[in-house]
Structure 1
Amino acid sequence: MSTPFDHLPAVPALNLTSTDVEDGGEFATAQYSAMFGVPGGEDRSPQLSWSGVPEGTKSFVVSVYDPEAPTPSGFWHWMVVDIPADVTELASGVTDLPGAAWTVKNDARAAQFIGSAPPAGATDHYAISVQALDIASITELGLDTEATPAFVSFNILSHVIGRGVITVIGRR
């Protein structure tokens, strides 16, 4: 299956896994969106672990993106930046982020994980990614809390030195 990262420059692969979701599998009820009115949804971020970190990694960016959302630009559900290089896991439902890590406002302009909420009858494929960067903080690029996930992604592109992606299905 293709990912939204396939057209970007190739970088070494990270191994990305989760105890909550699996590549090609479906989100659990907790990963659906209460904010968007999905019954049983909790807007709970999935647990994520990664390995195979390339030498020179100074930080990580984790994101969840739905390229199939009913908009011309998809929908960014979550982005955490400035994750320290010695961190290789985020717990399920994480709110206390490690080190100087922080959550970029998603496309709903909320600094939190928003779960899956495809339209009724739809099946969307969500790209969950971790990217290793050769910079310690996106502030080195002049970015701050007003940056959008798309703008962060654009600006970090030349600093990505590794990437792991799993694709998870959301359906209603």
Structure 2
Amino acid sequence: MVIKILSSAFNDGEPIPLRYSCEGSDISPPIDWDISESQMLDNGSIALICDDPDALGNTWIHWLIFNLPPETRSLPEMVMPREELENGAMQGSNSWGNIGYSGPCPPSGTHRYYFKVYALDTKLDLPAGTTEGELLKVMEGHVIDEGKIMGTYTRK
């Protein structure tokens, strides 16, 4: 199965509104996903990675969240840049070295931004500030299902 991901802010393959970019309010967009209850284990968790594969040199990481409770089915607009969220989820470091979301900010051209949601069979033993490489390494062998939505952004 594939996790179906939606955002009320943009449709898959369409532009991400200015509000969610470095040129706007630079807040995270609302993200919703649909995971079958039968897929999730009580001791499981959910992770989200937002990245830009069109960045010069390497994929640029915009947002990492992990250890979301297994019953979580959405993230609201404007998730605060805290190491630990109220529900116990942790946020990792983005490519700017910051905790939390940093929006699209391409130097030129149109870039693609993937919001990927992973259903995991366990909670991850990682601290806040974890990098994408560390997160992906620990997730290996624990992904039950995944899905993604992609938005684009061109700097004004």
How does the TM-score come out when normalised to structure 1? 0.81
Provide the secondary structure at the position in 1 that maps to 2:134.
Answer: helix
Q: Does 1:62 align with 2:48?
A: yes
* 1: CA distance, partners of 2:76 / 2:135: 23
Conserved in 2, the CA contact under 8 Å of 1:83 and 1:98? no
Report the CA distance shift for 1:81/1:17 in structure 2 as closer, same or farther (over 3 A): same
What letter is aligned with 2:112? H
Q: Which of 16, 28, 31 lines up with 2:17 in the alignment?
A: 28
Q: Does 1:92 align with 2:77?
A: yes
How many residues end up aligned between the 2 structures?
149
Conserved in 2, the CA contact under 8 Å of 1:67 and 1:125? yes
Conserved in 1, the CA contact under 8 Å of 2:48 and 2:118? yes
Q: Which of 118, 124, 127 lines up with 1:131 in the alignment?
A: 118
Identity of aligned residues (%): 25
Gaps of 5+ in 1: 1-11
Q: Which of 140, 153, 158 lines up with 2:141 in the alignment?
A: 158
Conserved in 2, the CA contact under 8 Å of 1:125 and 1:170? yes
**How far does residue 98 in structure 1 lie from its aligned partner after superposition?**
4.4
**How far does residue 94 in structure 1 lie from its aligned partner after superposition?**
1.7
How does the TM-score come out when normalised to structure 2? 0.88
CA-to-partner distance for each residue in 1:118-149, whole Å, 9 max, x for gaps?
Answer: 113x111111111000002x11xxx3234211
**How far does residue 62 in structure 1 lie from its aligned partner after superposition?**
1.1
Gaps of 5+ in 2: none
Alignment of 1:1-172 (within 5 A): 12-33=1-22, 38=23, 41-53=24-36, 54-56=39-41, 58-71=44-57, 73-95=58-80, 97-120=85-108, 122-136=109-123, 138-139=124-125, 143-172=126-155
CA-to-partner distance for each residue in 1:63-93, whole Å, 9 max, x for gaps?
Answer: 210011112x210000111100011011011
* 2: CA distance, partners of 1:159 / 1:100: 19
**How far does residue 150 in structure 1 lie from its aligned partner after superposition?**
2.2
CA RMSD of aligned residues (A): 1.6
**How far does residue 102 in structure 1 lie from its aligned partner after superposition?**
1.6
Q: Mean Cα displacement is larger for which, 53-62 or 81-90?
A: 53-62
CA-to-partner distance for each residue in 1:44-79, whole Å, 9 max, x for gaps?
Answer: 1110111133243611001210011112x2100001
**How far does residue 164 in structure 1 lie from its aligned partner after superposition?**
1.3
Provide the secondary structure at the position in 1 that maps to 2:141.
Answer: helix
* 2: CA distance, partners of 1:144 / 1:157: 17
